[in-house]
Amino acid sequence: MLLYVLVSVICAICIYIKWKQTYWKRNGVDYIEPDFFFGNTTAITKRKEHRAVVFQKFYNYFKGKGERFGGIYDFFSPVVVVTDLELIRCVLQKDFSHFVNHLGYINEEADPISGNLFNLKDEKWKNIRAKLTPTFTTGKIKMMFETLIDCSSGLQKVLDKYAIINEPVDIKKILLLFSTDVITSVAFGLQVNSLENPQTEFRRYFEKLFEPSLTLLIKRLISLSFPQWLLVKMRFRLSRKEVEEFFVKVVNDIVEHREKNNVFRKDFMQLLIQIKNSGTTTNIENINAHSAVKHLTINEMTAQAVTFYIAGNETSSATMSFALLELALNPSIQNKLREEIRANVKKHGNELTYDGIMEMEYLDLVVQEALRKYPSASGLSRACNKPYRIPGSDVVIEPGTEVMIPLYGLHRDPEYYPDPDKFDPERFNATNRSKIPVSAYLPFGEGPRACIGLRFGKLQTKVGICAVIWKFKVTVNNKTQLPIKLSSSRFPTAQGGIWLNLEKI
């Protein structure tokens, strides 16, 4: 009897999954035939290909058929893949009210780290975004610039050691440590010195956030399969309890120390403390540490600080690494950039300054092209929150359906970028930039959900590149596997690493 019930349940589940995977066929949408259970993301789940590469293939498939959009399945959840620029603009901006949220699971009470700006939805997202936006004004970013410069000196010292002994360096690993030092200082106000001691407690706990495991895969499946209200009632959590407790304690200790001892620092954490106490980030020098009005809880502060770290660490280090790879492969571009850096540094008293960084036009072109060829995100995802009829069609996207804009496909589309695999910063000069259609270049997203920290991220990237190219000539070591293939890690990373030779100038 028990065996009969078990077989019946398994059969029912299989029939349900098969039915779910006929969604696009039933709705008359062109789709790619899915694998049973895994859908069209088998290669991602089994870690055979990076998500960016898989979705680039989807983009090319539908674009090649002349389709403005098409359907695929993430396991058995339907996903709309968009290829048309006008439809992309509708999703991200024009019809944003239909696509306000991301798809991520959130439970601020049982899983505080999930309550970050990326995951927050509807009015709560709007409220927190409004409070955090002023922390990324020009004045606030300039306030954090000194931290960037201090960390860049540490970066140069570490690279100098490799140059002296004539050893190649896996530049992504070093820049990840550089970014860790920057972000932990800016976001948490702590000096962890990862460049000197890579095995810091902070790095260990951050790595645990995304450590691949069967448990994490099962949790992700559950978060996709069950209604959010039920998961919240079950107190379901995606992040590990020990990780949450570590970061909540760190933030709580920092806040208590600063408020009890009237300690003020020009960093992101101080701005969060100010928002917690006064609801604004104006006049940072006049923070009332004992205000009775609370605008951010410790859990909310922790979620934002952790997300700031994740967004600023992995993305910036990846962009810097790929930019340096291309500079090593293109000596003429590298030399031109170095000349600009040296002339600018000389102009500003032999120092890297904020104003000097902002003046470097060719540096900006190099960073824009690096973000074009190697966008930090595999795609821009939105969740439909109310029925949306796709313009010019009878297809209605239902609430809860994910919409994906594949950035690797978009940024390497030869229709918009001739010879897309060529690294050419001049694509973005004053003359050529106007030739790139609106919505064809989206490294930081677009519209109300665009990356809130894009200016800080670009600044950090520019400082890191300047610190290397100013002092070193870089060439590609034969340990680098060319052409570059992305590994199956969560964030875009080159298989086998990016190994560079350094020559001190």
Binding residues for heme, by number, are 451
Do 463 and 357 contact (CB within 8 A), yes or no?
yes
The token pair at 171 is 């530049």
Do 33 and 72 contact (CB within 8 A), yes or no?
no
* Number of residues assigned to the chain: 505
Do 176 and 170 contact (CB within 8 A), yes or no?
no
Q: Which residues contact 229 (CB under 8 A, 6 or more apart)?
A: none
User: What CA–CA distance (Å, rounded) separates 118 from 129?
Assistant: 10
User: What CA–CA distance (Å, rounded) separates 398 from 80?
Assistant: 11
The token pair at 85 is 């620029």
Using CA atoms, how far residue 145 sits from 150, 152, 153, 260, 463, in Å, is: 9, 11, 13, 27, 9
Residues annotated within the binding site are: 451
What region does 19 belong to: left with phi over 0, alpha with psi -120 to 50, or beta? alpha
User: What CA–CA distance (Å, rounded) separates 443 from 73?
Assistant: 24
Other Cβ atoms closer than 10 A to 26: 8
Q: 40-71 b/e with 16+ CB inside 10 Å = b?
A: bbbbbbeeebbbbbbbbbbbbbbbeeebbbbb
User: What CA–CA distance (Å, rounded) separates 57 from 277?
Assistant: 48
Helices (H), 350-479: 354-359, 361-373, 407-411, 454-471
SS3 content of the chain, % helix, strand, coil (to 5): 55, 10, 35
User: What CA–CA distance (Å, rounded) separates 44 from 50?
Assistant: 6
How deeply is 210 buried, as exposed, middle or buried, from its count of CB atoms within 10 A (0-12, 13-18, 19+)?
middle
Helices (H), 292-411: 298-329, 331-347, 354-359, 361-373, 407-411
Q: Which of 319, 325, 318, 321 is nearest to 474 (CA)?
A: 325
